[in-house]
Structure 1
Amino acid sequence: MTDTKKAKGVEAAAKQEFLKVFEKLRDEIIYDKCLGDQPQLAIDYAKKMMDYNTPHGKLNRGMAVLDVVKAIQEDASDELVFKANVLGWCIEFLQAYFLVADDIMDGSITRRGQPCWYKLPEIGMNAVNDGIYLENAIYLTLRNHFRSEPYYARLMELFHEVTFQTVHGQMLDLITAPIGTVDLSRYTIDTYMRIVTYKTAFYSFYLPVACGMVVTGVEDDAALSTAREILLEMGQYFQIQDDYLDAFGDPEFIGKVGTDIEDNKCSWLVVKALSKATAEHRKLLEEHYGKPEPEGVAKVKQIYRELGLEKDFQDYEAESYKKLCAKIEQQTVLPKSVFTSLLNKIYKRTK
């Protein structure tokens, strides 16, 4: 058996163990004593909703917590492994909540290879309440498994703070590019980088590592500061990848239909295009960006190609990877695998 096959086998086994923890946590939430003697209808609906929206996708955010714990403490006990996976699912609950809400706000069609939850005929705007349910699953789970730990309050503060940072990023995204109002002058690189840092980087990269550090007792300010700097930069790189895949990825492969152009998003591609556009290109972008017609979307993508944005992204990806590797190598406050385990999962990803 090759090393690659062995690694994939280990990864698949770890994912199965992680999924088993979900089933336990899901049932704890659905049957929480604070709900009393609830009707079977509510139980069935909650189970369907959590199963549809949570244990899918790559699960990289959630599984990263255990990777961090094992990097810091190689001989992690079974109890510590379980706690890491519980925190991982708290992050996946947060991710599920964000995606349910984001799909409604963006009018998205598919998510993770299936119709968006709100798109199901029997769901519709019930999905708003379901998103709130998913967010509350985080705090029920933290209560159930960490209330007796000395770092319980720290975990609560961490999840509240990162949620607020992400909400701020989403707010900036929505008000910078409101549906129906196209103002390309707002699409600057500074605005874009703030949106992606707050909307994506904090919860997707900083939060899993911070959880792993907290649960293993790492409280050093220098370690937290170093982690934050590297992980926010990694999160920016990840979101720029996502913007690229939205326009140039295969929907069958990435599991969703990209709608950034139709949704008038302040994406890396349009920001980059505006920095290189001729007067004619800019005129066409103003005419077609943020419009739902397929012909207009195709024209915007053609402009991206004419301006060489596919090559620009490849150059950016190579340079970002090089810089991140250098920063990871230079820091000495945390094991390098804390960061490389995350970076290796996203470098040159295609979905």
Structure 2
Amino acid sequence: MTSSEKAKAKKEFEDVFLTLAEEFLATVRSRSFPNESVEWIKKSLYHNIPGGKMNRGLSVIDTLEILKDGKVSSEELFKARILGWCVELLQAFFLVADDMMDASITRRGNPCWYKMEGVNMIAINDCLIIESAIYFFLKKYFRQDPYYVDLLELFHDVTLETEFGQLLDLITAPEDNVDLNKFSMEKYKFIVKYKTAFYSFYLPVALAMHMAGIKEPTAFKQALDILLPLGEYFQIQDDYLDCFGLPEVIGKIGTDIEDNKCSWLINQALLVATPEQRKLLDENYGKKNPENVSVVKEIFKQLCIEEKYKKYEEESFTYLSGLISQLDESFLKKEVFNSFMNKIYKRTK
């Protein structure tokens, strides 16, 4: 797909959001709610949902087109875009809540929703409304489809898996009780698998598989076996960019160090730190002061964590490419997974 074709596909996807947002607001108005509540929901929707890279949502469409050899009707394409926006709604629901839990400042180059004037903890209810919108659209557009229940179960299951991952993340690394002894690569991989990989990688592909009429459990297992490691690779990239990426490029100010996150970087550092370096990490990790953050980053530099990441990236690319090359294409196509690799390999934001 050429850059102009990608831009056109993205624009067509974005246009569907405008339709869906107005449909959702119409159902709010139908309840005769005061206009101020309608305007509040509208502001929340437009602040929190569009504006990202939209890779998760677009992946539903891309996957369906690959599975159906490009023979997708205009109706199927529209419905795939709706499912793509349902994934983006799920992402927005998680991010609004996550930003509050992490006390984050910016998201996608703008203030986090709860940081907007007058919002504060009302954002809790707003993120629940965003989640409910998913099921509003699934019911409206897919209730008559034979795979409707499959879609419902998939969204519910993936949401639960993600919430399990978020819980382990929060109890492993509470901001008010820094204890690096709680960290380990084993815990890190569990967090990544459940918090990120299921909804960011498996969900878009599984949605397209249901639309394409794939029913064989083996096919979904094959997808899971490749997409979960892909998700781990993606999250490790995210951890790297949080520390070493430029805020003006990644669209946010990284706060993993301040937030006492059980990230790939700190776990790598703990494996090789000297007793003196470990003492400094214990004293400075999870502190909000920029001076403490600078100490941690300096230790990362001393331990060549950035170089370790670049080595990991190449090794992961080789490993994942091997998994994809071994895929039995009876139900799925290698191109589905190669398209993901092409989107994330050596990304900068």
Question: Same fold per TM (> 0.5)?
Answer: yes
Distance 1:177 1:33, change over 3 A: closer
Distance 1:215 1:34, change over 3 A: farther
Distance in 1 of aligned mates of 2:347 and 2:259: 24
Aligned to 1:183: 179
**Structure 1 portions without partners, runs of 5+:** 1-5
1:39 Cα deviation from its structure 2 partner = 2.2
Aligned to 1:109: 105
Distance in 2 of aligned mates of 1:305 and 1:220: 48
Are 1:283 and 2:279 an aligned pair? yes
Aligned to 1:17: 12
Please say which of residues 218-227 and 52-61 is displaced more in the overlay.
218-227
1:259 to 240, 255, 258: 255
1:38 Cα deviation from its structure 2 partner = 2.2
Aligned to 1:70: 65
Q: Residue 101 of structure 2: SS of its match in structure 1?
A: helix
Aligned to 2:136: 140
Are 1:202 and 2:198 an aligned pair? yes
Q: TM-score, normalised by structure 1?
A: 0.97
Residue pairs, 1:16-165, within 5 angstroms: 16-32=11-27, 35-73=30-68, 74-165=70-161
1:40 Cα deviation from its structure 2 partner = 1.9
2:338 to 328, 337, 340: 340
1:203 Cα deviation from its structure 2 partner = 0.2
1:34 Cα deviation from its structure 2 partner = 9.0
1:123 Cα deviation from its structure 2 partner = 1.1
Distance in 1 of aligned mates of 2:111 and 2:28: 32
Please say which of residues 233-242 and 27-36 is displaced more in the overlay.
27-36
1:31 Cα deviation from its structure 2 partner = 1.4
Please say which of residues 330-339 and 274-283 is displaced more in the overlay.
330-339
* 1:152-184 per-position Cα deviation (integer Å, ceiling 9, x unaligned): 011000000000000000000000011121111
2:61–2:208 contact (8 Å) kept in structure 1: yes
2:29–2:38 contact (8 Å) kept in structure 1: no
- The residue identity in structure 2 corresponding to 1:311 is E
Distance in 1 of aligned mates of 2:10 and 2:62: 12
Q: What value does the CA root-mean-square deviation take over the aligned residues?
A: 1.1
Aligned to 1:312: 308
Distance in 1 of aligned mates of 2:335 and 2:43: 36
- The residue identity in structure 1 corresponding to 2:44 is M
Aligned to 1:7: 2
1:236 Cα deviation from its structure 2 partner = 0.3
Aligned to 2:215: 219
* 1:113-169 per-position Cα deviation (integer Å, ceiling 9, x unaligned): 111011112211111110000000000000000000111011000000000000000
Structure 1 vs Structure 2: percent identity of aligned residues?
A: 52
- The residue identity in structure 2 corresponding to 1:327 is L
Aligned to 1:241: 237
Distance in 2 of aligned mates of 1:266 and 1:58: 25
Equivalent residues, number: 346
**Structure 2 portions without partners, runs of 5+:** none
Q: TM-score, normalised by structure 2?
A: 0.97
Distance in 2 of aligned mates of 1:215 and 1:173: 33
- The residue identity in structure 1 corresponding to 2:237 is Q
2:28–2:38 contact (8 Å) kept in structure 1: no
- The residue identity in structure 2 corresponding to 1:341 is S
